A and B are shown apart, each in its own frame.
Chain A
Amino acid sequence: MSMEEVEGSHGSMFEGGVEVRVLVVDDSPVDRRVVEGLLKRSGAMFQVIAVDSGKRAMEVLGLTEGKEAEQPTVDDPKIDIILTDYCMPEMTGYDLLKAVKEQSCQKPIPVIIMSSENEPQRISRCRAIGAEDYLLKPLKTNDVLRLRDYARPAALSPKTGTKRKIAIEMMAENSGSERRPCLAGLAAA
């Protein structure tokens, strides 16, 4: 079992927490602006970077087509989630998804596809190569709130070590918010 940093029992996960950095990729300026509005309004602390093409997205991600990232950007990726339209000229959302998942680093960035079309074949194609989700446009607030769940774990845990460490198995033994006075030192090796 791994040790996890845990905030106080009622502390919000996002207190002093880190914003989730979303790369929005869509060739429609209207859709970009609406998605940006949704993300900012949802209260879920997103930082939005919006680009108008797959090619620009690749630049932001530090990828060039046909070449993998030399230094896997796991240590400090600039982006936590990619939210991309499917239907775009030249490089589609599917192409972008594929390029991201083909990276050699251990944990490629989660990719969520957006589309106005509810096409089962298209959806399975995307999921088959690793899309985390497929959202129908226009997006709703609930869709956007789910994005936090897909974000890389690193984006969600604060980096500072001022919080007490509590072994997860101790937490699991206790139901509700009551904590037994067992201490982290008793965590099984």
Chain B
Amino acid sequence: MESSDLQRRYIDFTSTLFREGFLDSQYTQLQQLQDESNPEFVTEVVTLFFQDSEKLQDDLTRTLDQEVVDFKKVAAHVHQLQGSSARFSTPPMRSLCIGAQRVKNVCMAFRICCEEMNREGCLGCLQQVRQEYFLVESKLETVFRLEQQIVAAGGSIPLMW
């Protein structure tokens, strides 16, 4: 396939991801930090992101599994999850991070459940968090695949912001 066709596909796909809250401007920042001396920077950071999130999700599962749930601890984990995946600038700027406007929304609901000491609610939120991360991960895999195809076809990866 021509690199220009691939680039068009890439732009269409990533535009949708931006619109749906899977990607935002920090992804572009990551792209800009990638160069010959840092050739794998984007995949490195994204991998770290998913490893870190998985660890936090496991911590959450463990904490919610206890006989007596320590809701303060749960809230602290959620805060970490939220912090690692969503940092906020002051309005009117958008929230900035990899794919996590959606996760941010779930985290907010999660924290309310913690305040209410609602275990079932927390478990429901955790399930949603897992689903969101799974979705983000698969979308990003598609993005990376398209990027590789573009480069292989001799083209350059469009910056999206």
Contacts and interface: CB of A to CB of B under 8 A. Distances in A.
Interface of A: 27-31, 33-34, 37-38, 40-41, 87, 89, 116-118, 136-138, 140
Given A38-B33, A89-B76, A138 B87 contact: yes
29 contacts: A28-B80, A28-B83, A28-B84, A29-B52, A30-B45, A30-B48, A30-B49, A30-B84, A31-B84, A33-B44, A33-B45, A33-B48, A34-B45, A37-B30, A37-B41, A37-B45, A40-B37, A40-B38, A41-B33, A87-B79, A116-B88, A117-B88, A118-B89, A136-B89, A137-B87, A138-B29, A138-B87, A138-B97, A140-B29
Chain B binding surface, main DSSP class: helix
Contacts of B96: 138
A30 B46 CA distance: 8
A135 to B, nearest CB: 12
Contacts of B26: 138
A182 to B, nearest CB: 45
A27 B45 CA distance: 15
Contacts of A87: 79, 83
Contact of B38 (A27, A41, A116): A41
Contacts of B90: 118
A23 to B, nearest CB: 20
B52 A37 contact: no
Which 7 residue pairs of A and B lie closest in terms of their CB atoms, listed nearest first? A116-B87, A37-B33, A137-B87, A30-B49, A29-B48, A30-B48, A28-B84
B51 interface: yes
B35 interface: yes
Contacts of A41: 33, 35, 38
A29 B87 contact: no
Given A30-B84, A87-B83, 18 more contacts: A28-B52, A28-B80, A28-B83, A28-B84, A29-B48, A30-B45, A30-B48, A30-B49, A30-B52, A37-B38, A38-B33, A40-B38, A87-B79, A89-B76, A116-B87, A137-B87, A138-B29, A140-B29
B131 to A, nearest CB: 21
Contacts of A33: 44-45, 48
Contacts of A28: 52, 80, 83-84
Nearest to B30: A34
Contacts of B33: 34, 37-38, 41
A10 to B, nearest CB: 26
A66 to B, nearest CB: 26
A69 B35 CA distance: 40
B47 to A, nearest CB: 10
Interface in B23-76: 26, 29-30, 33, 35, 37-38, 41, 44-45, 48-49, 51-52, 76
